[in-house]
Structure 1
């Protein structure tokens, strides 16, 4: 889905919640953002959570974040935001975040987020329990007033917002699918996921109220239950904020 489609999604987003259509004075307001990471990181920052805070354990996770060229076989010479980690404990959250600061203050919005990324998580790899490894790497998107950060609790890094676990949705993030590819896909293939009404299975609404300065934080990440190394290359992230206002 391209950016023009996202404008349509913004209009459809209001259908996530019931509202009166009798008030002729209501006006729909749309705020749209699109970030292509080929030329810039656009100020997006990375974080990691759900792993041991012990330095020796942390080193084993091989956590990496970089604005770099995508792997061969995707888009030659095109840059992306790369997140990589070697999930040692069967639970690892790798995320990107950015603050949006030009919304209307203290205003509730419906948010539709689309993510384009390159993944090599094909369905050919199976876990020891017979599960498909790629289907255990869950993609989530969200928005929150609070800046998402990783904090240490009981010698363990946790995220300070409610993303819920694995393929569950929390109050701050929603599950929009996994990053698996068809078996016949080549190494690293571009996929698109979103929480829009076009997503038949995962069209969960995101509803956020901006703070007094008109700011919110966007967050996108993978919540992995797969033991092993995963690297994803985020190529584009788009977001549409929409509201009905008198």
Structure 2
């Protein structure tokens, strides 16, 4: 089945009703990156944690939509993230603004990220942590007076989890070989979490790897999906 990109308000039998005057519906944000280089569906990549003085011998970053690698469906696209910072911890992430919510309204949300990865636990255990969250403010990278490019949300550092993280885990596969496999990660162990939209009726998503691994890390976002119920 072909993948698709969808941002929609679903109103169907068994779900919540929706009309022109209300958003008390099931809202689904579903990004599969199924297109060419323009198929990013509003997602923007970023990097944080590295020094402004880092040169190409220490730092390497590449992010773009690309066909999925061998071992998966190579006719389909994902968002490929490559990162390497030999001098310390670095956060490589995607972010996306979603609008259309009722301003300052509480929602119940479930959040899932599908990753294509080829790493075994023995390769990067305790060195690369996957983190994701949803925020009322935009996730950005800012340059500090210390010369470090920092992430503005509280994601924690390395395996430590900050207050703005809803999903935390790793990018390792249980398979013993180095072929790519798709792994699924769920916020709050698949249970709904409650959050509130900002005054503009927006929420910002982010997802990425918090890495102390000094060598190159490559993985693909295969799908990012969130479902909301207005409370």
With structure 1 as the length reference, what TM-score do the two structures score?
0.76
Identify the residue that residue 24 of structure 1 maps to in structure 2. Answer: none
CA offset digits 1:143-177 (Å, max 9, x no partner):
11211110111111100111112223322223421
Distance 1:99 1:79 in 2: 21
Q: Name the residue aligned to 1:67.
A: 65
Deviations 1:160-195 (A, max 9, x none): 111112223322223421111125244221111011
Instruction: Work out the CA distance in 1 between the residues paired with 2:185 and 2:62.
Output: 23
Structure 1 stretches of at least 4 aligned residues deviating more than 3 Å after TM superposition: none
2:183 alignment counterpart: 191
1:159 maps to what in 2?
151
Does residue 96 (structure 1) correspond to residue 94 (structure 2)? The answer is yes
Deviations 1:36-89 (A, max 9, x none): 112221110000001111152x66311111111122222212111011111312
2:30 aligned residue: 34
In the alignment of these two chains, the number of paired residues is 206
Q: Which residue in 2 is equivalent to 1:130?
A: none
Correspondence list, 1:48-197, <5 A: 48-56=47-55, 60-125=58-123, 133-153=124-144, 154-197=146-189
For 1:138 and 1:164, how far apart are their aligned partners in 2?
10
Distance, in Å, in 2 between the alignment partners of 1:106 and 1:96 is 24
Indicate the structure with greater helix content.
1
5+ long unaligned stretches in structure 1: 8-27, 126-132
Q: Which moved more, 1:158-167 or 1:231-240?
A: 158-167
What secondary structure sits across from 1:63 in the alignment? Answer: strand
Which segments of 5 or more consecutive residues in structure 2 lack a partner in the other structure?
Answer: 1-5, 11-23
TM-score by length of structure 2 reads: 0.81
Is the 1:120–1:189 Cα contact (8 Å) retained in structure 2?
yes
Paired residues of 2:129 and 2:171 also in contact (CA < 8 A):
yes
Note the aligned Cα RMSD (angstroms): 2.2
